[in-house]
Amino acid sequence: MLPKPPEVSRRLHEQIKLDRYPGNPIITPNPDHFWESEYTFNPGTVWENGKVHIIYRAMGMDNTSVMGYASSKDGFHIDERLPEPIYVPRRNFEQKFQPGNSGCEDPRFTKINDRFYMCYTAYDGKNPTRVAMNSISVNDFINKEWQWEKPILISPPGMDDKDACILPKKVDGKFVFFHRLETSIWVDYMDDLDFEENEYIKGKILFSPRMNSWDNEKIGIGGVPIETENGWLMIYHGLSRDTKYRLGIALLDLENPTRVIARLNYPIFEPEAEYENKGLRFGTVFTNGSVVIDGKIFVYYGGADQVTCVATADFTEVMEKLKHSIYIE
C-alpha cells in the first residue's frame, strides 16, 4: 500500500473540531411569549422535506419545560418559528407537583417508517427524571398538525434516567435504545415499541466516564447516532469535575452497536463563546440533535441552557479522522 501524501496524513492527525456558526445564537427567548420568555435551548432535530425541523425546549417564568418549533432550509438561518408550543405536559409524570422545574425536556427524534418517535425527559419536579416516549405521523408533523400519541414512560421508576433515543434501524430484528442511567451511557434491545405495563429499558453500560479525562463526571448521548458505512457516529456530552459540559465523539459497530470502535480522548467542542458561558448554566454546550446537509454535519446545541446554537464540520473529514482513531477507555 502506498503511503498517504504528507498533507493527507497531517489532516488525519489533526483533532476533530466543530466550528461554531458566527451568527449564533440562532434561537433566543421571546419576551412576548410567556412559554418561551426565559430559555430556548437543547433542540432535537430532523431533516425532512428539504429543511431542518428544530424542536427546542422552552421555559418561561414558571420554569415549565415545553417544546417550540422552528425550521431552516440552509441549516443556519431560521425561516419559520411558531408562536405557540407544539408539545406541552399532559400526563401526571410531567406535571408540576411543586414549585420549580418540571415538564418535557430535551427531545430526540427518530424516523421509523412513517412516524417520528420522540424520546424526552419527563419531570414532575418531585420524583427522579424518567424517559418518556411519544410518536407522531410524518405527514402530521410536516403539515404541523400536532396529533401526538399518548406519551408513555419507558424507564424504571425511582431511577434518574434521561438522554434517550432509538436507532433508526433495527439490529438483529430488535430496536436499539440508548439512555443515560446514573453516570453512564446504556444500551438496550427491545422486540418492539409497544411497551407493556412495567416493561422498561435498562440493558448494559455502553461506556462510562473516564477518570482522568474531560468526561470524568458523567456522560450522555447527544443526538440520534448517524448511520455511516463505517459505523454509527455518536456525538455525546461529558461533564467534568470543573462543572463544564463538552461534546465528544465515538464510533459504534454498525451490526453490533454495543461494540465501541473508536472514542476520542479529547472533546470536539467546548464552551468558549459568551453565550455558552452566560445563562442558566454557564460553561455548557449540550446537544440533542444533528443532521448532515450537503456533506457537512450540523450539530444543534444549547448554549448555557439559555439559547439554541449550531456548529458544523466537514462530514467526510470527521469520518476519515475517526476511522484512524482507536477506542480509548
DSSP character string of 160-206: -EEEEEE-SS-BTTBEEEEEEETTEEEEEEES-S-PPTT-----EEE
Does 176 fall in a domain? yes
Does 315 fall in a domain? yes
Q: Is the dihedral of CA 75, 77, 83, 89 positive or negative?
A: positive
Read off the C-alpha cell for 191: 422486540
Instruction: Tell me the pLDDT tens digit for each residue of 265-320.
Output: 999 999 999 999 998 999 999 999 999 999 999 999 999 999 999 999 999 999 99
- Grid look-up 459568551 returns 274
For residue 222, the enclosing domain spans 34-323
- Grid look-up 446537544 returns 287
Does 165 fall in a domain? yes
Radius of gyration of the chain (CA): 19
Domain count, the chain: 1
pTM of model > 0.85 = yes
Does 10 fall in a domain? no
**What is the CB-side half-sphere exposure of residue 192 using CA atoms within 13 A?**
3
Does 20 fall in a domain? no
Q: Is the dihedral of CA 87, 90, 91, 96 positive or negative?
A: positive
Does 185 fall in a domain? yes
Residue 9's φ and ψ, nearest 5 degrees, are -60, -40
Tell me, what's the pLDDT at 284? 98
Domain with 288 in it: what CATH number?
Answer: 2.115.10.20
Instruction: Tell me the pLDDT tens digit for each residue of 88-136.
Output: 999 999 999 888 999 999 999 999 999 999 999 999 999 999 999 999 9
Residue 276's φ and ψ, nearest 5 degrees, are -100, -5
Whole-angstrom Cα distance, residue 284 to residue 166?
Answer: 24
- Grid look-up 425550521 returns 71
Does 19 fall in a domain? no
Does 5 fall in a domain? no
- Grid look-up 425541523 returns 53
The rounded Cα 285 to chain-centroid distance in angstroms is 11
Contact assessment for residue 39 and residue 306, using Cβ atoms and an 8 Å cutoff: yes
Tell me, what's the pLDDT at 323? 83
